[in-house]
Amino acid sequence: MNTLLMIDSDEEYRKKIRKVAEAQGYCFLEAECGTDGIKICIEKPVDIMVIDIMLPDIDGFSVCRTLCSLKNIPILILTDCRDEEKKMFAYDQLGVSDYVFKPCSPREVIARLKVIQRYRPRHQSPTGTTFFKFDGLEINMMERTVKVDGSFVEFTPKEYDLLFCLVKNINKPMSREHLLSEVWSYDFYGTDRTVDTHIKRLREKLGPYHRFIITLHRVGYKFSVTSEK
């Protein structure tokens, strides 16, 4: 049974989501503030989360950032805030899986959660390998860790997803459109620039091993440990 954690100050709305979620087979956990939500997520197994930005104690973005640093759990933002810049920030910087404006029917919320879980990237190579070592670069997809010359390097959730997607398709050219579809999922309204920005950040964090991410002119990118360009 999947466990859904909803962090939202609106008690009546939480009740409506709970009713539909439980009817669809979810175990439903809830919190009305960010502090309680973080505590629940740390103490109990959670498979997916719904978080409002506008919480009574700390903002939902801070909650997302804290939880993403602790666990690899997909997040759907559900909020009254219609600021487009905040929406893009949530996708690009926090790596949320979906961003939905209220009012949104409980049935649609649960349907979106099911799609997120269905299309969530599965970080495994065609051979089943989840650990890779290229010179001083170590990538563990199962544990979601990356080491550069023996030191752990932190990435945002979407940076991890993008790197893993490239690595599991080693030497295979990947178009920007394909990367958007694979990493940002089914309904992200971003542009090719989103991919380019994340590639730039990946290269900065990979240090001397940024050379493994090859730019393919007018095509996209590929991960390769050879000298081929």
pLDDT tens-digit map of 16-52: 999 999 999 999 999 999 999 999 998 988 989 999 9
Within-domain flag for 16: yes
Confidence at residue 150, expressed as pLDDT on a 0 to 100 scale: 92
172, 202: one domain: yes
The residue-averaged pLDDT of 90-99 equals: 80
Domain range holding 89?
Answer: 3-119
Same domain (yes/no): 13, 105: yes
Q: Pick the residue with more confidence: 208 or 217? A: 208
Average pLDDT over residues 66-95: 81
Region label for 197, one of left (φ > 0), alpha (ψ between -120 and 50) or beta (otherwise)? alpha
Are residues 42 and 10 part of one domain? yes
Give me the pLDDT at residue 228, please: 46
95 and 138, same structural domain?
Answer: no
| Predicted local distance difference test score (pLDDT) of residue 73 | 83
Domain identity same for 14 and 111: yes
On whether the pTM is more than 0.85, the answer is: no
96 & 140 share domain: no
At residue 79, the pLDDT reads 87
Answer yes or no: is 125 within a domain: no
pLDDT of residue 210 exceeding 90 = yes
Among 119, 148, 167, identify where a domain stops.
119
Please report, for residues 64, 91, 95, 201, the alpha-carbon distance to residue 52 in angstroms, rounded to integers and kept in the order given: 10, 14, 15, 27
Indicate if 138 and 188 belong to the same structural domain.
Answer: yes
pLDDT tens-digit series, residues 153-180 = 988 888 888 999 999 888 889 998 888 8
One domain for residues 82 and 16: yes
> pLDDT category, 229, cuts 50, 70, 90?
very low
CATH assignment of the domain containing 113: 3.40.50.2300
- CATH code at 204? 1.10.10.10
Q: What is the mean pLDDT of the chain?
A: 86
Q: DSSP characters for 65-125?
A: HHHHHH----EEEEES---HHHHHHIIIII--SEEEESS--HHHHHHHHHHHHHH------
Number of domains observed in the structure of the chain: 2
